[in-house]
Amino acid sequence: MLWFILKRESTIETENLAASSYEAQAFEGLFLSEIDLTGKEFSDCSFKNCHFLGCRLSAASFRDCRFHNCTLANIAVDNCGFQSASFIGCKLVGIIFSPLKKALLSWEFIKCRIELCNFNGLKIKETKFLDCVIKSTDFINIDLSSADFSGSDLQGSRFHGANLGKARFSTAFNYVIDPTCNQVKQARFSAPEALALLVPFGIKLDS
């Protein structure tokens, strides 16, 4: 289990989120540890400097929600929906996203740190991962066509069986993508980082 030492801006008891749905509400400084939010619905809500540690978000719904400088670690998201959700400056660690509700899935990540996460099997075409640090994260059997990884550090992340057609890796770096195991037609890369595409072939380039 991965945990963080965090300053608690406020401590929220379970009963404070007793309602089944919230609309157009701003949450700031929430510190939620192992709280069960199963089935909760959040619409047009914002979360700022909030921490979700080991929480259960099963069958919860976040529609048109914005997360700013939040930490989400080791949360359970089976059958959870993120529809038109934005994560800005957030930390997402140790999350298995595969069981998400795929029919309600559209999001973007900007200047986030995504580590030890699993996006396997998802269809998240056109998703933006802009200027993110994405470490040791799996993208296996996934549809990332037209996704945008511009400016992101992908150190230790794995792509296998991924549809990366028309995806943008311009200014992305530290990625290793095997063109024989992933679809890369019309994907965009920048030199010299694009030389990493030759690594699986054992090709050596002379300077």
How far, in Å, CA of 148 to CA of 18, rounded? 37
Domains contained in the chain, CATH given: 26-111 (2.160.20.80), 119-202 (2.160.20.80)
pTM, 2 dp: 0.86
| Strands 128-130, 46-48: pairing kind | unpaired
Tens digits of residue pLDDT in 18-28: 889 999 999 99
**Are 125 and 147 spatial neighbours (Cβ–Cβ below 8 Å)?**
yes
Tens digits of residue pLDDT in 95-139: 999 999 888 799 999 999 999 999 999 999 999 999 999 999 999
Tens digits of residue pLDDT in 195-205: 556 455 454 54
Tens digits of residue pLDDT in 46-70: 999 999 999 999 999 999 999 999 9
